[in-house]
Structure 1
Amino acid sequence: MRKALSNEGWLAIVEKDPHNNRVYLEVIKGEAIDFVYEIRLVTYDTPDYGLDGTHHSSEQPAPQYGRAEVFLRRGGQSYDIYGYDKQSIIRDLLDQFEKYLHFLHVSPSSLPWKMAEHDDLLSESEQASHDPSDTTEKPE
């Protein structure tokens, strides 16, 4: 996929972030808003009905289970791809990318494409480093 995107002038970057238990693909082309497809390990407390009759005490943390959830540029998609085979994950990624391309096709060019300042997933220092031309003071 990276080679095909590169042939079309798109930069594709795959990043592994073990510290945050995630892996993501970012596709960048010019001034267009970036496409991000992220798989993130998200853990939840196991509900009582999912336990085998034993109850955890206040000294012990609740048993947990994990999900491999999909996140796009603007947030979580609330579905789990744990157990998907390689082809199913590729199909899901391509489906999301096609939706992104459709969005770019139907969107007016006046949308705020520089989204780093609005990204809740980035810290303030990361946001500032994404737009070095921004010299405006931020309100405190």
Structure 2
Amino acid sequence: MSTSSKPRRSPRKPKIVLSSTRLAELEALSEGMMRRNPELAEQLVEELGRARIVTPQRLRADVVDLGREVTYHDEATGKDHTVTLVLPQTADISNGLVSVMTPIGVALIGLAEGAVFHWETREGQRRELKILKVAPFEEETLQSA
């Protein structure tokens, strides 16, 4: 019998890349979130600590950043979802605008197309998600809605 069917214990987290200007912005957001949601703020701080920091000009177009539209596949449901990552004050889930200061927002920031990551929902369910596509957000689409 093969032992290759053993479940993997803790999958490695995918690499993340952030621009230097985004790093400062996210650090400030995490500080502000410490009182309201310390667990989420700590998750963001952990992600920031392991990020590779580049100049804004060197941030590749296929990396999730604020204002970029992200399509990801949820292995558990078999569905694809498209959202745009935004600052908390402009979040509007009914229009697909997801705050970077939510569990899924923290999980998505800095990932590149093709990355597979594990994410825990607010209900405690563990999901495997894969980034399918990252594209600039078309603001005209939202304004004409």
Fold match (TM-score > 0.5): no
* Larger-gyration structure (1/2): 1
* Larger RCO of the pair (alpha carbons < 8 Å, separation 6+): 2
Give the TM-score band, short-chain normalised: under 0.3
